[in-house]
Amino acid sequence: MKILDLVNRDEVAIDPYASIASIEAELIRNAYVVLRDGGGTFVGILTPSDVLEKGHNLAIDCLTERPLIKGDEDAEKVMNMMLDRGILVLPVGDARGAYLGSVQVTTMLQRIWDITKQNISINWVNIVEEPGMERHKDNFSMELFHNTRNPIQAIVSAVDMLRASPGDFETKLLLNAIDSNARILDALVIKLYSFHFEKR
């Protein structure tokens, strides 16, 4: 998944020289605001933590520099970078560096959560060919079953161990997503294997 799939373009824009008191409600309600000058040019992104850290009266004086992420960047890589650095929102630009919108960690986590809730369905059509070919297909299916389930079980076990250790909310959400997807994949592998061999 690319960052462009997660960009928020419906943002609250404010004047860079607005007072913090005048934008406080918007800042808290939306978790961040975008600063644009009189010509509509992107100046930066302001978050409540920026205001608390800098403590100035004007929005522009409270800005913290954030790297501009390209829209074609891999979402997983960007999310890991954001979590590592404690950054909750970043600006996103096109190939030329023009501002497109922003991406938030919460949006990424929500997308992961939504994906884990999707139903997976598969249709298996067993085409019978030469007698020797059926034996090869059976051997392949058995090997695939065992070689797929072992790593899945290792993932589930690792998630259980990590979940038992203290961690922040975002980490727990990611662990839940990993665990849920591993279990879905495990159930799918079992279903495919059972379907293939119960037909005989």
Instruction: Read off the pLDDT of residues 186-195 as tens digits, 9 standing for 90 and up.
Output: 777 777 777 6
Give me 138's structure tokens: 């059976």
Domain count, the chain: 2
Closest to 8 measured CA to CA, from 84, 106, 85: 106
Predicted pLDDT of residue 148: 73
Q: Give dist(CA 51, CA 35) in Å, integer.
A: 13
Banded pLDDT at 41 (limits 50, 70, 90):
very high
Unique residue bearing structure tokens 């030329």: 96
Looking at the fold, whether 135 and 67 belong to one and the same domain comes out as: no
Instruction: Read off the pLDDT of residues 66-105 as tens digits, 9 standing for 90 and up.
Output: 999 998 888 888 888 888 888 889 999 998 989 999 998 8
Instruction: Read off the pLDDT of residues 141-151 as tens digits, 9 standing for 90 and up.
Output: 777 766 677 67
% of the chain exceeding 90 in pLDDT: 25
pTM over 0.95: no
Looking at the fold, whether 127 and 39 belong to one and the same domain comes out as: no
Task: Report yes or no on 64 lying in a domain.
Answer: yes
Last residue of a domain, one of 105, 127, 144: 105
* Cα dihedral 149/113/69/33 (nearest 10): -170
Looking at the fold, whether 94 and 7 belong to one and the same domain comes out as: yes
Unique residue bearing structure tokens 């600006």: 91
Looking at the fold, whether 17 and 81 belong to one and the same domain comes out as: yes
Give me 12's structure tokens: 């609250």
Task: Report yes or no on 34 lying in a domain.
Answer: yes
Predicted pLDDT of residue 1: 74
Cβ(152)–Cβ(186) under 8 Å?
yes
> Helix 105-116 to helix 169-198 angle, to the nearest 10 degrees?
20
Looking at the fold, whether 28 and 50 belong to one and the same domain comes out as: yes
Task: Report yes or no on 54 lying in a domain.
Answer: yes
Looking at the fold, whether 95 and 7 belong to one and the same domain comes out as: yes
Looking at the fold, whether 10 and 87 belong to one and the same domain comes out as: yes
Looking at the fold, whether 15 and 93 belong to one and the same domain comes out as: yes
Closest to 77 measured CA to CA, from 33, 166, 85, 178: 85
Which domain covers residue 51, as residue numbers?
Answer: 3-105
